[in-house]
Structure 1
Amino acid sequence: MTKEEIDLLAYELANLRLKADLTLAPQYPAFSDKPYPLGRCLEIRDEMYKLIHAQLAHNSESLAPLAHYMQSAQKELQKVWGSLRDEYFQNAIVVGHWYIDCANDTVNANKPRVEIKKLEQSGFSAIKDFEQFVKIAQSYWQVTVYQNTAFPALAPYFPLICENEKGASWLAAANDDMLKVAMNSEFALSQRILANLPPPPKAMQVRWRQIISKMPNPDELLTHQGDPLSFCKSYSESNLATDLTFRDKAVRAFMSLPKGA
């Protein structure tokens, strides 16, 4: 796409974002006390992805540069999540070698809603390990990160516990990309980060145990006790890194937990 086509596409997508905002702003008025659109890059990206597809399906002239590029390059829109310059977690759209950020104003609301760049110039990259995730989380989310000793049987998949400045805590990193990081390494990367993080405060572990004690039928993966590093080794030796059924069981156990403690 030429610069003129990129500028036109960015303008049209910014107009489409206004439609997305009309849908999303009433649903998500705030995120951690910050007003919409701050912190809502996932929701905005997903809504824009739907709207763009709908426009393309109707052969909208406004998105003609994008449609022509997709046809000539034989490329489809892809949702992506990862690191933006190792400063932020970002949800965006990639098509071929173009990076389309339809939620460019979710960290700084004064920025343009939409940014389109060549992928290699965007600063966007996949997150390769948990150390990189922790580095971004600590600065971007303003959290302290601990070993997941609260639920050691889940630690191979979710090795981290994040705690924010208000004392709320949650397991991380809870998305498909980071699950793949854990499983593709046969849990070696989970084991490595666990070995280099401190355990959470006892008060935090007590809170999580109290939550489990009040659940009517907690999953057995939530009640196991032990060393999270030992679970990593055991899962690796049992070839659970390629067992999608067991992965789904771990995810269901995670999903049964409250959002935070």
Structure 2
Amino acid sequence: MTSSQSLTLEIITARAEDEQIAPVNFKQVKLTKKHLLPRVKELQADMMRLRAAFDQSYDVTTVRYGKTYPEGFCQEITLGVKTIMEKELSAPKTPGMTALRDFAVNGGLAKRIWGNLRNQYFQNAFQFGSLYVDVANDTVNIAKPKVEILPLPKARMLPIADYDGYADLAEKYWKGQVYPNRIMPDLAVMFPLFLITPDGKIGLHANYQTILYRNMQFDFTLAEKFLFKNKRKALALPETYHQKLVTKYGAVPEPVSDDVLSQYFDSARQSQLRYDTTRCQAMLDRAIAL
């Protein structure tokens, strides 16, 4: 879990804007066809080369959540390759990187994106105009090629639009179980769900994901919809976890009713909580502390 010292609302906001999948308009299609498609093989080769450079710089014996690099390390790989790529683009020396530089200086969109890949897992990748470029393609199945380049529609990379989809994907990707947050109601407007992972850890989600920013943008309606209408609404947190949260983190002894929970959402909106960075940051810090 990310520490509160390194996670702020400003970071989350910047990340949300950075990770958003951009609509593909006529200009991006035209620029992609002109600059990238004629050099797509060279671009693929350069992405493989950059990935290899990052692999050499990273401790490949690193284990996290029971997984050894590269499995589960798509964000680290994508960000690392992004850093190397940005340095090379200032003075490209290969056909692929030259094509990408020409594409970008003429208005081509080149950015990192994050989202729901094929309703199977969360994934970090790049969007180059109308292309999906994944330099961490082997982070779920290590037998796959390290790099994949596809037309964006064919890749089936979708934004995380609500907590319902986030919860479904979180259970599938992290092999955990999602529960509604009805025992820490003062945090529920921002953090509507708990995730218990296979190793027994519990966390308030999504405290470091783009969906948190979207929920604040929409005045907490995404969290409200999840808590009142999601299929998991009646699921009760296992007693051992519930009691731990009561004892250590001030959770209430019994899950609150719809009426009580509604009051927290009403209060958040009436007090304009989403505009109060001090209060929101305090809530974020509490959620991370679990």
Q: Secondary structure at the match of 1:154?
A: helix
Matched residue, 1:52: 85
User: What residue is the counterpart of 1:10 in the other structure?
Assistant: 44
Query: Counterparts of 1:128 and 1:56 in 2: how far apart (Å)?
Result: 32
Contact 1:149 1:200 in 2 (8 A): no
TM-score scaled by length of structure 2? 0.77
Deviations 1:36-74 (CA, angstroms, capped at 9, x unpaired): 1000001111111111101112333251121121122x1
**Equivalents in 1 of 2:181, 2:270: separation in Å?**
20
Per-residue deviation, 1:79: 2.1
**Greater RCO between the two (CA within 8 Å, min separation 6)?**
2
Match of 1:230 in 2: 263
Q: Aligned with 1:21: secondary structure?
A: helix
* Local SS of the residue matching 1:25: coil
Answer yes or no: is the 8 Å Cα contact 1:20–1:47 preserved in 2: yes
5 Å-filtered alignment, 1:124-163, equals: 124-163=157-196
177-186 or 84-93, larger mean C-alpha shift: 177-186
Q: CA deviation at 1:102?
A: 1.1
Shift of 1:92: 1.4
Q: Partner residue of 2:243?
A: 206
Q: Does 1:24 align with 2:61?
A: no
Pick the aligned partner of 1:169 from 173, 192, 202.
Answer: 202
Residue pair 1:77, 1:93 contacting (<8 A) in 2 also:
yes
- Is the 8 Å Cα contact of residues 148 and 160 (structure 1) preserved in structure 2? yes
How much identity, in percent, do the aligned residues show? Answer: 27
Deviation string, structure 1 residues 67-93 (Cα, Å, up to 9, x no partner):
121122x13532221101111111112
Whichever residue aligns with residue 177 of structure 1, its letter is T
User: What letter is aligned with 1:140?
Assistant: Y
Question: Shift of the alpha carbon at 1:210?
Answer: 3.9
Which residue type is aligned with residue 65 of structure 1?
A: A
Q: Which moved more, 1:100-109 or 1:115-124?
A: 115-124
Aligned mates of 1:246, 1:240 — CA distance in 2: 7
1:119 is matched by which residue type in structure 2? L
What amino acid does structure 2 have at the position aligned with 1:99? Answer: Y
Is this contact kept in 2: 1:40–1:106, CA < 8 A?
Answer: yes
Shift of 1:176: 4.5
Matched, 1:116 2:153: no
Shift of residue 25, structure 1, vs aligned partner: 3.0
- Contact 1:25-1:37 at 8 Å conserved across structures: no
Aligned to 1:220: none
Partner of residue 187, structure 1? 220
The residue identity in structure 2 corresponding to 1:77 is A
The residue that corresponds to 1:219 in the other structure is none
Aligned partners of 1:131, 1:111: CA distance in 2, in Å? 29
1:83 is paired with a residue of what secondary structure? Answer: strand
**Aligned match of 1:89:** 122
* Residues 196-227 of structure 1: per-residue CA shift (max 9 Å, x gap): 32231221122234444xxxxxxxxxx47565
Tell me the number of residue pairs that the alignment of Structure 1 and Structure 2 aligns.
245
3-state SS in 2 of match to 1:153:
helix
For residue 155 of structure 2, what is the amino acid of its counterpart?
A: S
Q: 1:140 to 1:4 in 2, by over 3 A?
A: same
Distance, in Å, in 2 between the alignment partners of 1:148 and 1:237 is: 21
Is the 8 Å Cα contact of residues 134 and 148 (structure 2) preserved in structure 1?
Answer: yes
Instruction: Report the AA paired with residue 281 of structure 2.
Output: D
Output the amino acid matched with 2:244: R
Shift of residue 23, structure 1, vs aligned partner: 2.3
Question: Which of these residues, 93, 104, 121, is aligned with residue 70 of structure 1?
Answer: 104
What is the correspondence of 1:91-106 to structure 2 with a 5 Å cutoff? 91-106=124-139
Mark the runs of 5 or more structure 2 residues left unpaired by the alignment.
Answer: 1-34
Q: Secondary structure at the match of 1:175?
A: coil
State whether residues 146 and 200 of structure 1, in contact with CA within 8 Å, keep that contact through their aligned partners in structure 2: yes
